Copies of this chain bind each other. A is one copy, B any other.
Amino acid sequence: MFELIDANIAKHITLSPQELDHFHSFLHVKKYKKKQFILQAGETSHFQGFITKGCIKNYILDEKGHEFIMYFALEDWWVGDIMSFYERKPGNLFIETIEDTELLTIDHQSNEQLLHDIPQFERFFRILIQRSAYTLQQRFFNTLSKPAEARYLEFVKKYPQVVQRVPQQLIASYIGVTPEFLSKVRAKLAKKSSKTEAGS
């Protein structure tokens, strides 16, 4: 039940068995079917979640209705609209399942209690956010400074599991191009590699 989340936390902080039990007492299981919303823009996020099974997309919708994917998350990832959750006001993020998904969740009040009772969690979440901010910074830089082909290749290399599990149009959104253009990029790459493979 808690193996995955305990291991996730142990990457950054060390807790006593009692502290772990206390932490577990705050958690709830939530289950979602494929293509369900975990959160919609305009809502206030009442919990943070940790994925024990499944796959989600976290995105913003622009005025034309285009999805702009902030991130995908699979097993062993934390998900949520952090600003909405901590500031207790409506956010602009959608979180939607791509597969049937199971979360361990912690609600706002429990989270405050947890941070109070075990201040190490303050550090834990700081580290998580720090890393996600760094990743976002690098992605932003790459998106503005490298062509779509390079971004696609980096994505495939960095998130091979995601490539297996989410439709290509969503990967296009993540790397910041239209599905049509990603399709062309892939066609060009396929031609290149077939040449390399000496016409087999």
Contact = CB atoms under 8 A, between A and B. Distances in A.
B137 A70 contact: yes
Given A115-B123, A144-B176, A130 B68 contact: no
A37 interface: no
A66 B122 contact: no
| Interface size of A as a range | 20 to 34
A62 B133 contact: no
Given A119-B119, A122-B122, A122-B123, A86 B130 contact: yes
A165 to B, nearest CB: 23
Interface of A: 60, 62, 66, 68, 70, 82-83, 86, 115, 119, 122-123, 125-127, 129-134, 136-137, 139-141, 143-145, 176
